[in-house]
Structure 1
Amino acid sequence: MHQSKWIILTIIIACQLIVVLDASIMVTAIPQIGRSLHMSTTSSTWVQNSYILAFGGFLLLGARAGDLLGRRRMLGIGIGLFSLTSLLAGLAPTAEFLLISRAFQGFAAALATPAALALLSASFVEAKERARAIAMYSAVSAAGGSIGLILGGFFTDFISWRLGMFINVPIGIALLYLVQKFIQKTTIRTGRFDLWGALTSVIGMTGLVYGFVQAADYGWGKPETWIPLTAGIVLLTAFVLTEARAAEPIIPLRLFASRHRSGAYLGRFLMVGGNFSLFFFIPQYLQNVAHFSSFEAGLAFLPFTVAQFGMMYLMHGLVQRFGNIKVLMAGLIIAIIGTLLLSRNISVQGHFFPEMFILLAIMGIGAGMVFQPLTAMGLTDVEPQDTGAASGLINVAHQSGASLGLAVLITVFNQSSHTDQPSSLQFAHAISTSLLGSVVFIIAALAATLLCILPARQTSRKQTLQVDK
């Protein structure tokens, strides 16, 4: 790989890392944030969801902006705004100020991320180079969450949770300089922004997530729950209808014409729905039941992180030998087994070492085998004019799965704990039940793979045989 490409890949990975880190860097700090800003366990989920909802919701608009205004320009604007909003989040005097700042952080990330992935796709055209670049990008995207837990825990215990936000500022300034110096200007196209499509998707997904979080507090029969859920469903339906009729949609529905790609998007949505919730629930268990400090709870994810990063060096050989689909299915099965066994190990008497340590490593191996194939399949046979939209859709599936999965499983947690102030026994039981919900999500991801991707592969084989004849 040429040196200039290594520099471009390093910039793209660094941009992706700070964006992914911020989805989890506050998790181990949530008990401290709750105490300092007077937030309940349920409301504290919005420290996560305000970020990832805005991130996932505006990704499609960000991808379209990159196509029309230039990807280098949007990458720079996104990084600059991300640095500014990180500073504001770190200075937040109230919970409301923090949540609004986190939402604008998510919007900034939505401008930068699809531009970065589209630049990667355009910079690495040769198959072997692209596979290696996607492997590194996927490893950082997947493992960045657990790195965020460790950093967030360290800052919370030894300095302040606010440093997790402040640290983005100097990194962002450095990245802005590197982007301008090493990444060439990209093509600017004429076209329209599908603003109505962007708004219906963002508000619709927010309505769904808000409805599930309200269900955790009020139950399913209350207007506080069913009104936002209904509004979310109606708006997401309007989004699909808008995209079908728009002359220049933010997400061309033709991307779903490939069963292969559709299965990859759905599989990613469901896998992240189950996997991301672990980063919220396990630290809560370790701090509230096992009495770990914030930093210790973050360090507890080291076996997961090390295993996931370790898989990065093996993935190229595994994919070359077995193919994306077999590696993906094996990774999902390993993740299911690890999560199921971990849910059974969560109790008041549970021990971190060796049981949880080994199971987290197993789950890291499974996750490390899943995301690279899903990324590669999500970009399969995409036309050049749709690269930005396809890149955005991959990240939309990731962030939407994270926000909706957490919202669903926090409802499971509240229904299982039966009280606002659960005892250690009730808390452990609720966490265990929530992890079983994670298992259901990952099993659904495996089912999506079997139902969507395998039939598509068999159809492709039949067509190839007919051509040969």
Structure 2
Amino acid sequence: MLAVLAGAQLMVVLDTTVITIAVPSIQQDLHYSVTALQWVVSAYTVVFGGFLLLGGRLGDLLGRRAVFQVGGAVFVTASLAGGFADQQAWLVVSRAGQGLGAAMLAPAALAFVSTSFPEGPSRNRAFGVYGAVSGAGAALGAVLGGVLTDVASWRWVFFINVPLAVVVLAGSAWLLPESRGLRRKLDVLSALMATAGVTALVNGFISAPVNGWSSAGTLLSFSTAVLLLGGFFGRQVGRESALFPLSLLTDRSRAGAFGVHLLNNAALLGTYYFFSQFAQQVLGLSPMVTGLAFLPSTACVILASRFGSRMLSRTGPRPLAVAGSTALAAGLLYVSFMSAGSTYAGRLLPSLILVGLGLGMSVVALTVTAVSGVAGRDAGLASGVLNTCQQTGGSLGLAAMVTVSAHATGGRRDTAVLADGWGNAMLLGAGFAVLAVAVAALVIRAKPWAQQAAPAD
């Protein structure tokens, strides 16, 4: 069962980064502008993040196996559509469809892990496997994206999901038990408000470098985001059927884990996006070699995840979260000094190692902390919130980093200017990670918590 759940998580995480190596080929084939190109990445993460709360609650209300399987079917259908896309809008809509399927698949998978293993060493080991897949999947996506783009075409970063989805769906029908549904109302309006609000916020960051920060379109996007997200949180106060019960934030360690996860992922997605472009446009590496260049980071994620799962019961989550975010910040700070004369071994490789260690060390601690002590009937919701932090953080972080880079380059395309702009973006990513260090140190509890079984489903 854990293999099936980890396979589902691998599939949705892969699609966050597998596209990044293929981005230059997609831009050339479908003629995207520099700013519009990031919607090929962000359409997935925005819809994924915006509908995760709804997807998590659907699993609690309707049964997790059913929602898991519907999500998998939507995901694989959208993947096929993306592989055949020959227009910009078609590809972006397909990516959004993948995000919708992933929003049902991912929280159900994480909820199954959290309810199938008792709190303590057993659950920590399970989350060690799950966390290693989550972390390594991001780096593995870059490797796989490079190989597929070079050997076949960028379309295969979509088609590769089909056999994986078939295995996951078959395994779910055979191995996953059905959970009992809850008799609660489903707040669809809140889900739509959250998705539209995040989309408007990301669009504001995207349009600002092109149209100006004080332009009518940019101000309208930000104003819409404030109104919709403010309305979303207002609807959650005191509602029995709240999509995001604010009571989840009353535990300071859980709230801290959500915050650190959001900030870490704000730095991570942009990192893979810019690393890929630097490797191909400045270092002149092929997509395949670019993908293989990410392998050291993948190995570091796996090793650090194993270490983190073993140390969690001894140290508690705070030291691991602080150490992981610190390593991430150090890696991004180091690579922010990139230039057109930088080399892979001298500048990118040390950063990739630090980023991999930081991600692997923190992901298990944050995941376990986020779902620890949550009643089984609300496990899908807590899982949805954690995944929402990951995807929303990635979307907003990428938009902010692209904005900084575009402002620095001013539309110029020579490698020296591009490298300088990407370095500025990495510096912003390092800033996100430094904030994550502060949140982890000040909010998450320092000592190991008492291991108590979660209430029964």
Which bracket does the TM-score occupy, shorter chain normalised? over 0.9
Q: Which digits, 9 at most, give the CA deviation of each residue in 1:152-174, with x for residues without a partner?
A: 11111111111111111122122
Q: Which residue of 1 aligns with 2:454?
A: none
Q: Is the 8 A contact 1:78 1:111 kept in 2?
A: yes
2:431 pairs with one of 433, 440, 448: 440
Task: Give the distance between the partners of 2:189 and 2:347, measured in 1 at CA.
Answer: 50
Q: Is the 8 A contact 1:9 1:120 kept in 2?
A: yes
Task: Give the distance between the partners of 1:227 and 1:257, measured in 2 at CA.
Answer: 33
Task: Give the distance between the partners of 1:377 and 1:317, measured in 2 at CA.
Answer: 15
Q: Is the 8 A contact 1:272 1:401 kept in 2?
A: yes
Q: Report how far residue 126 of structure 1 moved.
A: 4.5
2:418 pairs with one of 399, 416, 427: 427
Q: Is the 8 A contact 2:297 2:353 kept in 1?
A: yes
Q: Report how far residue 388 of structure 1 moved.
A: 1.4
Dislocated runs of 4+, deviation >6 Å: none
Q: Is the 8 A contact 2:262 2:390 kept in 1?
A: yes
Amino acid at match of 2:149: T
Q: Which residue of 1 aligns with 2:372?
A: 380
Task: Give the distance between the partners of 1:58 and 1:129, measured in 2 at CA.
Answer: 30
Q: Which residue of 2 aligns with 1:316?
A: 309
* Pair 1:397-2:389 in alignment: yes
Which of 434-443 and 179-188 deviates more?
179-188
Amino acid at match of 1:443: V
Q: Which residue of 1 aligns with 2:355?
A: 363
Which of 321-330 and 18-27 deviates more?
321-330
Task: Give the distance between the partners of 1:340 and 1:440, measured in 2 at CA.
Answer: 8
Alignment of 1:93-172 (within 5 A): 93-172=86-165
Q: Which digits, 9 at most, give the CA deviation of each residue in 1:355-399, with x for residues without a partner?
A: 422331122111111111111111122223321111100000000
Alignment of 1:7-86 (within 5 A): 8-86=1-79
Q: Report how far residue 350 of structure 1 moved.
A: 0.5
Q: Is the 8 A contact 2:249 2:255 kept in 1?
A: yes
Q: Is the 8 A contact 2:308 2:362 kept in 1?
A: no
Q: Is the 8 A contact 1:29 1:153 kept in 2?
A: yes
Task: Give the distance between the partners of 2:77 and 2:375, measured in 1 at CA.
Answer: 35
Q: Is the 8 A contact 1:332 1:442 kept in 2?
A: yes
Task: Give the distance between the partners of 1:310 and 1:82, measured in 2 at CA.
Answer: 30
Amino acid at match of 1:441: F
Q: Is the 8 A contact 1:72 1:186 kept in 2?
A: yes
Q: Which residue of 1 aligns with 2:406?
A: 414
Q: Which digits, 9 at most, give the CA deviation of each residue in 1:77-114, with x for residues without a partner?
A: 11111111100010111010000011011000001111
Q: Is the 8 A contact 1:336 1:442 kept in 2?
A: yes
Q: Is the 8 A contact 1:348 1:428 kept in 2?
A: yes
Amino acid at match of 1:258: D
Q: Is the 8 A contact 1:86 1:105 kept in 2?
A: yes
Q: Which residue of 2 aligns with 1:241?
A: 234
Q: Which residue of 2 aligns with 1:228?
A: 221
Q: Which digits, 9 at most, give the CA deviation of each residue in 1:164-213, with x for residues without a partner?
A: 11111122122211111111221122221101110111100111001000
Task: Give the distance between the partners of 2:111 and 2:414, measured in 1 at CA.
Answer: 48
Amino acid at match of 2:157: G
Q: Report how far residue 247 of structure 1 moved.
A: 2.8
Are the structure 2 counterparts of residues 129 and 37 from structure 1 closer, same or farther at C-alpha, using a change threshold of 3 Å? same
Amino acid at match of 2:27: G
Q: Which residue of 2 aligns with 1:286?
A: 279
Q: Report how far residue 319 of structure 1 moved.
A: 2.2
Amino acid at match of 2:428: G
TM-score, with normalisation over the residues of structure 2? 0.96
SS of aligned partner of 1:341: helix
* Pair 1:301-2:294 in alignment: yes
Task: Report how many residues are paired.
Answer: 449
SS of aligned partner of 1:14: helix
Gaps of 5+ in 1: 1-7, 462-469
Q: Report how far residue 218 of structure 1 moved.
A: 1.6
Q: Is the 8 A contact 2:309 2:364 kept in 1?
A: no
Amino acid at match of 1:30: V
Q: Report how far residue 354 of structure 1 moved.
A: 4.2
SS of aligned partner of 2:69: helix
Alignment of 1:140-219 (within 5 A): 140-219=133-212
Amino acid at match of 1:269: L
TM-score, with normalisation over the residues of structure 1? 0.93
Q: Which digits, 9 at most, give the CA deviation of each residue in 1:320-346, with x for residues without a partner?
A: 4332211211122222122211212x1
Q: Which residue of 2 aligns with 1:272?
A: 265
Q: Which residue of 2 aligns with 1:87?
A: 80
Q: Is the 8 A contact 1:200 1:239 kept in 2?
A: yes
Gaps of 5+ in 2: 451-457
Q: Is the 8 A contact 2:119 2:372 kept in 1?
A: no
Amino acid at match of 2:371: L
SS of aligned partner of 2:35: coil
Q: Is the 8 A contact 1:244 1:253 kept in 2?
A: yes
Task: Give the distance between the partners of 1:174 and 1:333, measured in 2 at CA.
Answer: 37
Q: Is the 8 A contact 1:25 1:149 kept in 2?
A: yes
SS of aligned partner of 2:32: coil
Amino acid at match of 1:195: V
SS of aligned partner of 2:22: helix
Q: Report how far residue 440 of structure 1 moved.
A: 0.5
Task: Give the distance between the partners of 1:246 and 1:89, measured in 2 at CA.
Answer: 38
Q: Report how far residue 289 of structure 1 moved.
A: 1.1
Q: Is the 8 A contact 1:311 1:365 kept in 2?
A: yes
Task: Give the distance between the partners of 2:167 and 2:312, measured in 1 at CA.
Answer: 35
Q: Is the 8 A contact 2:132 2:306 kept in 1?
A: no
